[in-house]
């Protein structure tokens, strides 16, 4: 099979959440265990046979950015770093990287060719299969460390099959990280912050250090209870036996200034919180002697995170004139920051106009998002090419119900058409924003900015 034929097989034969949503969600570990045993990464007793240490990252938003920041700094320190994230924007291979380089097409082809009969019989989800491929690839290439992003939730996510690290931090999870908690995927994780926090906190493991990025009165007791059960309670970065840190209480900005860490290559307003979380996680790895990191490595990792890891779609400037920006924020928790930053651009130059290419998927809190979107903008609603996309006409209806001006809206059958229309409408001084979902950003990158 060719690479494209291989991808077609993976998408057609294995349910993919990013394409069909809830029907692809398979909580639990039965398929994962079977896959890893087949790939010789687990034995018959379900013992982990992998030899790489891992950093396990969960959270409602920011887990991708934090994963890339941590990977970039470890890479800048000279380590061979595996990075597994999801979803991808343009190419499936974005999900699996080693030191910034995507997995070769030949490796994906070989994985399917060698295991097709087993995959046909087992019928794993797309995520389970791609995760198993990543773990096998990292093992074969003997990475020094792997940064593993949770797919959905935490407690029942396939990635949570990873065990606590051994006594010498040579294999298994050496650090758990939970970025924040927001109301997303409530049909799977629960409809309160406390319930969602309990699912995310499921990645905490006995004796494994853990960093919590953002705290909230509803989620703090959940994290403390889980940490108590896992024996990892501590009281701050300065405590030598600490195993639990809350990043928003660690004086991050002062520490960063003291160590002369430069501005990050990620520029979204919300990235300040992600930088804080990643920095505390890296400090924990250093202070515990798991991965010593120099100030130089931290500085380079932050300053060159996108260059080192290939990260895209986070307040990414696609064109300077008109200023064209895309961002993968896709729920109310993330899009409220995007909206604030767009308003800042308008405030800086009141004469400029804002053109927004936008769509969302049908399982998001669209009504809440509508409350954040700027009214002084022209909206180009486009139907993204996924079954989960809200039709553009429906998006416009919802926007009008929230006080939008019909004269400042248009509907398009594709993201590419909407982007081109926005480009034709905007002057050199104006701003075009592309977002609302990973699918909108991915299609724009693939069709209009490749």
Among the residue ranges 115-119, 190-194, 235-239, 258-262, the one predicted with the least confidence is 235-239
CB 432 within 8 A of CB 322: yes
Does position 238 have pLDDT exceeding 50, yes or no? no
Radius of gyration of the chain (CA): 22
Q: Where is pLDDT greater, at 248 or 437?
A: 437
Query: What would the mean pLDDT of 12-22 be, rounded to a whole number?
Result: 57
Structural domain boundaries of the chain? Answer: 3-309, 316-448
Selection from 243, 209, 204 nearest residue 222 by Cα? 204
Q: Output DSSP code: residue 39.
A: T
Ramachandran angles phi, psi of 132, nearest 5°: -60, -40
Q: Where is pLDDT greater, at 278 or 21?
A: 278
- Per CATH, the architecture of 316-448 is what? Alpha-Beta Complex (3.90)
CB 220 within 8 A of CB 255: no
User: Is the backbone peptide bond immediately before 87 cis, with ω within 30 degrees of 0?
Assistant: yes
Residues 365, 55, 239, 291, CA torsion sign? negative
Average pLDDT, rounded, for the chain: 91
Which tens digit of pLDDT belongs to each residue from 307-338? 999 999 999 999 999 999 999 998 888 888 89
Q: Could you tell me the pTM of the whole model?
A: 0.93
Cα–Cα separations (whole angstroms), residue 374 to 233, 354, 360, 441? 43, 9, 16, 19
Which tens digit of pLDDT belongs to each residue from 181-204? 987 666 767 779 999 999 999 999
Share of the chain above pLDDT 70, in %: 91
Does position 31 have pLDDT exceeding 90, yes or no? yes
What H or E segment, with its residue span, contains residue 332? helix 332-348
pLDDT for the residue 256:
67
Structure tokens at 421: 């229309």
pLDDT for the residue 409:
97
Structure tokens at 283: 């400090």
What H or E segment, with its residue span, contains residue 97? strand 96-98
Has domain 3-309 been given CATH number 3.40.1190.10? yes
Cα–Cα separations (whole angstroms), residue 191 to 212, 213, 220, 388? 20, 21, 17, 21
């Amino acid at each position: 099979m060719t690479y494209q034929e291989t991808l077609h097989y993976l998408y057609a034969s294995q349910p993919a959440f990013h394409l069909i949503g809830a029907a692809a969600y398979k909580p639990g570990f039965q398929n994962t265990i079977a896959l890893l045993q087949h790939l010789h990464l687990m034995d018959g007793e379900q013992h982990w046979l992998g030899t790489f240490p891992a950093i396990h990252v969960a959270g409602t938003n920011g887990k991708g950015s934090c994963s890339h920041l941590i990977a970039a700094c470890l890479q800048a320190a000279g380590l061979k770093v595996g990075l597994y994230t999801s979803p991808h924007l343009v190419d499936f291979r974005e999900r699996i990287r080693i030191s910034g380089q995507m997995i070769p097409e030949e490796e994906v082809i070989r994985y399917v060719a060698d295991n097709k009969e087993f995959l046909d019989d087992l019928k794993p989800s797309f995520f389970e299969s791609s995760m198993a491929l990543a773990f096998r690839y990292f093992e074969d290439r003997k990475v020094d460390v792997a940064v593993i992003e949770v797919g959905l939730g935490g407690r029942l996510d396939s990635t949570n099959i990873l065990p606590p690290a051994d006594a010498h931090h040579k294999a298994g999870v050496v650090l758990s990280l939970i970025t924040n908690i927001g109301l997303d995927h409530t049909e799977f994780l629960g409809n309160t912050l406390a319930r969602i926090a309990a699912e995310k906190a499921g990645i905490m493991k006995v004796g494994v250090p853990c960093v919590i990025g953002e705290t909230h009165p509803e989620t703090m007791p959940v994290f403390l209870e889980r940490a108590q059960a896992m024996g990892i309670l501590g009281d701050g970065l300065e405590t030598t036996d600490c195993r639990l840190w809350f990043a928003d209480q660690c004086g991050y900005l002062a520490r960063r200034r003291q160590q002369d860490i430069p501005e990050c290559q990620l520029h979204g307003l919300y990235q300040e919180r992600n930088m804080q979380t990643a920095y505390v996680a890296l400090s924990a790895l250093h202070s515990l002697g798991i991965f010593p990191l120099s100030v130089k490595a931290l500085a380079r990792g932050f300053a060159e995170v996108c260059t080192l890891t290939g990260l895209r779609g986070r307040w990414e400037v696609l064109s300077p004139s008109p200023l064209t920006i895309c961002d993968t924020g896709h729920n109310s928790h993330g899009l409220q920051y995007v909206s604030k930053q767009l308003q800042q651009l308008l405030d800086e130059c009141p004469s400029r106009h804002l053109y927004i290419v936008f769509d969302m998927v049908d399982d998001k809190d669209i009504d809440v998002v509508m409350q954040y979107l700027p009214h002084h903008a022209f909206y180009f609603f486009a139907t993204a090419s996924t079954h989960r996309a809200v039709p553009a006409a429906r998006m416009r209806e919802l926007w009008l119900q929230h006080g939008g001006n019909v004269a400042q809206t248009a509907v398009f059958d594709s993201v590419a058409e909407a982007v081109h229309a926005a480009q034709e409408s905007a002057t050199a001084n104006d701003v075009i924003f592309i977002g609302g979902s990973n699918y909108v950003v991915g299609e724009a990158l693939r069709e209009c900015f490749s």
